[in-house]
Chains A and B, each alone.
Chain A
Amino acid sequence: MSLLLFGLFMLFLFIGVPVAIAIGAATLAAMYAAGVPLMVMPQQMFSGINSFALVAIPMFILAGDIMARGAVSTRLVAFAEALIGFVRGGLSVVSVLAGMFFAAISGSGAATTAAVSSTLVPELTRKGYDPASAASLIAASGTIGVVIPPSVPMIIYAVIAQESVSKLFLSGFIPGLAMGLGLMAIALVQGYRRAYPAGEKFALSTIWRTFRAAFWGLMTPVIILGGIFSGIFTPSEAAVVAVNYAILVSLFIYRDITLRQLYHLLIRSAVTTAVIMIVIACSAALSWALSSWQVPGTIARFVLGFSTEAYLVLALMLVLILLTGVFIETASALIILTPILLPLAVQLGVDPVHFGIIIVMGLAIGMITPPVAINLYVASSVTGIGLERIVRAILPYLCMLILVLIGVTYIPLML
């Protein structure tokens, strides 16, 4: 029965049926063949998304969308430039730092990439940087968007694995920092090799001036994360606070958004959320079917039959996660893989929160590996630089991120 299910799912997926419907239709067909009462389908779809933690997803997406559109991101970039722009090749280091700042506001990789590339790529090009390489670096830094909290994939993982969102958020900081530092190191080396110019001299007065300009944007993570970790808000409430704050700042303080634009952003983020959540709903029925046929257990026994060495099995899982990320979009891949891989990881003695960070990071790297590479598409469409040129420059950044992933997997201290 599970073979029929997987076969149909793969078939539907590759003829271009949307992921959610491919999952739903394959599950329904297999249930029908197995004589399972079909009422399980609507019931599981409903209960799969009947969770207060999921409220955080549309809210963090909306807050990120509002903040990405104007004054907040340009001012954050200016502040990052004042901090680190003085080194050789400084502006590309700045693009990573700005990506990290924005990652602490937004929970999505695409929003982070869009916010930074729209402000920085024109300036990078003007100052003689290779534009394709610059856009590629920004797309790579965009992956940090889902590792440094808040993070939409982490919320999805927490709901599926029944873990605490706050714990996952807390564990994302150091891996996100490591990804940023790794990318900065490459940016520095490239800066020297290509003899890129240094930016303006380091001056405390500039830092103070740009800090004051960027103050309202910089306060966002303080409010969100401070609120969550001090226990004042649940993550879902913090997400709503972030939305209220973003609306307040951009409507009344920076005045860079109109009510009409806000209305369209509401619709846009609702649809962005729905396409993720409907995959969660359909795959709730899938996981129900899989676990009633004991598939995750069988897979775990099969794999553990070869080896019970945690490091080896983890390595295999890393390969599988990275490969899946090449072909399937982050959230869907996460929703499909977690119910299968998590029981295996737990049997090996891996902490579920640690495993969550590994799988989110691994799939985040999939945002820059074509053919399915949302960050590269965003960077290309925002900057107008051809996709192929951006792809050609991605390799060093990709290797660095995989290196950090391996580190996070095997050095538990990094959490």
Chain B
Amino acid sequence: MLRLIGIIDNALAAILKPTVALGMAALIAVITLQIVSRVFFTAVGWTEEVARFLIIWLTFLGAALAWHQGRHIAVTFLVDFLPKAPRRTMQIAALVVTCSFAVALTWLGLTYMEMSSFQRSPALRIQMTYIYAVIPLSAVLIAWFSLSDLLRLMFGQKLDGQGGMPE
């Protein structure tokens, strides 16, 4: 079963990676367009809004990918000091906290999407529901990744790179 979880984990990461790369490329393109159009022609009104929405999507999806890569910022020196058994308990506790928060955020995000179904963005008139969708989407991904880490830990596998420092 752990192998299956690993395969799903990697498949999700394999979708997330090109997505965030595309998001970054789009961000560069949109703001380049903003500069070029303002300096040489007339300013385009919608670029700033698109850039803001892109960065929000990048943040949430990137946060999910960061979990897979063990790159979230965490204070680990205390846990690292402990002997093996209590360290494992702490890691399990930390994963339970993460997973519960992610599940709660998924639910809150979905409710928030429903509540704002009538809202539209000022410049592009996009339904804000689509923009807010990234919150439950990435929350459910983080819930899955932390759950799979939890299962791995319970069934005796060691975690590598849990909560590393940003490079």
What residues make up the interface of A, taking CB atoms closer than 8 Å to B? 12-22, 24-25, 28, 38-39, 41-43, 45-46, 49-52, 54-55, 58-59, 62, 110, 232-233, 236-237, 240-241, 243-244, 263, 266-279, 281, 327-329, 331-332, 371-372, 374, 377-378
Q: Is B55's CB under 8 angstroms from A28's CB?
A: no
Q: From A18, A244, A269, A271, give the contact of B65 (CB < 8 A).
A: A271
Contact of B66 with A by CB under 8 A = yes
Q: Is B165's CB under 8 angstroms from A46's CB?
A: no
Q: Within the assembled complex, what's the spacing in Å between the Cα atoms of A211 and B23?
A: 36
Q: Is A50's CB under 8 angstroms from B56's CB?
A: yes
Q: Within the assembled complex, what's the spacing in Å between the Cα atoms of A377 and B23?
A: 30
The number of residues on chain B lying at the interface, defined by a beta carbon within 8 Å of a beta carbon of chain A, is 59
Q: Is A52's CB under 8 angstroms from B75's CB?
A: no
Q: Within the assembled complex, what's the spacing in Å between the Cα atoms of A232 and B38?
A: 10
Which residues of A sit under 8 angstroms from B150, Cβ to Cβ?
A: none
Q: Is A240's CB under 8 angstroms from B31's CB?
A: yes
Contact of B123 with A by CB under 8 A = no
Q: Is A16's CB under 8 angstroms from B78's CB?
A: yes
What are 14 inter-chain pairs, A to B, with CB distance below 8 A? A16-B75, A16-B162, A16-B163, A41-B108, A42-B108, A266-B20, A266-B25, A270-B24, A270-B58, A272-B166, A274-B59, A281-B59, A329-B73, A372-B77
Which residues of A sit under 8 angstroms from B112, Cβ to Cβ?
A: 39, 42-43
Q: Is B51's CB under 8 angstroms from A275's CB?
A: no
Q: Within the assembled complex, what's the spacing in Å between the Cα atoms of A332 and B108?
A: 24
Q: Within the assembled complex, what's the spacing in Å between the Cα atoms of A243 and B32?
A: 10
Contact of B124 with A by CB under 8 A = no
Q: Within the assembled complex, what's the spacing in Å between the Cα atoms of A232 and B35?
A: 9
Q: If the complex has contacts A46-B132, A244-B32, are A17 and B52 also in contact, measured as CB distance less than 8 A?
A: no
Q: If the complex has contacts A241-B35, A273-B58, A274-B58, are A372 and B72 also in contact, measured as CB distance less than 8 A?
A: no
Which residues of B sit under 8 angstroms from A329, Cβ to Cβ?
A: 73, 165-166
Cβ of A372 to closest chain B Cβ, rounded Å: 7
- Describe A's contact surface by its main secondary structure: helix
Q: Within the assembled complex, what's the spacing in Å between the Cα atoms of A268 and B90?
A: 29
Q: Is B73's CB under 8 angstroms from A110's CB?
A: no
Known: A110-B166, A244-B28, A372-B77. 8 other contacts (CB 8 A): A16-B90, A55-B52, A62-B24, A267-B20, A269-B24, A270-B20, A274-B62, A328-B75
Cβ of B76 to closest chain A Cβ, rounded Å: 5
Q: From B24, B65, B66, B109, give the contact of A58 (CB < 8 A).
A: B24
Which residues of B sit under 8 angstroms from A270, Cβ to Cβ?
A: 20-21, 23-24, 58, 62, 65
Q: From A12, A45, A328, give the contact of B135 (CB < 8 A).
A: A45
Q: Within the assembled complex, what's the spacing in Å between the Cα atoms of A247 and B109?
A: 37
- A12, A18, A19 pick with most chain B CB within 10 angstroms: A18
Q: Mark B111-126, 1 if CB is under 8 A from A, else 0.
A: 1100100000000000
Q: Mark B34-67, 1 if CB is under 8 A from A, else 0.
A: 1100010000000010011001101111110110
Cβ of B53 to closest chain A Cβ, rounded Å: 8
Q: Within the assembled complex, what's the spacing in Å between the Cα atoms of A46 and B51?
A: 14
Q: Is A25's CB under 8 angstroms from B101's CB?
A: yes
**B91-112 with Cβ < 8 A to chain A:** 91, 93-94, 97-98, 100-102, 104-105, 108-109, 111-112
Contact of B167 with A by CB under 8 A = yes
Q: Within the assembled complex, what's the spacing in Å between the Cα atoms of A51 and B54?
A: 11
Cβ of A271 to closest chain B Cβ, rounded Å: 5
Q: Within the assembled complex, what's the spacing in Å between the Cα atoms of A62 and B25?
A: 11
Q: Is A15's CB under 8 angstroms from B90's CB?
A: yes
Q: Within the assembled complex, what's the spacing in Å between the Cα atoms of A9 and B111?
A: 25
Which residues of A sit under 8 angstroms from B115, Cβ to Cβ?
A: 39
Cβ of A14 to closest chain B Cβ, rounded Å: 5
Contact of B79 with A by CB under 8 A = yes
Q: Is B27's CB under 8 angstroms from A374's CB?
A: no
- Closest residue of chain A to B95 (Cβ to Cβ) is A17
Q: Is B75's CB under 8 angstroms from A377's CB?
A: no
Q: Is A18's CB under 8 angstroms from B35's CB?
A: no
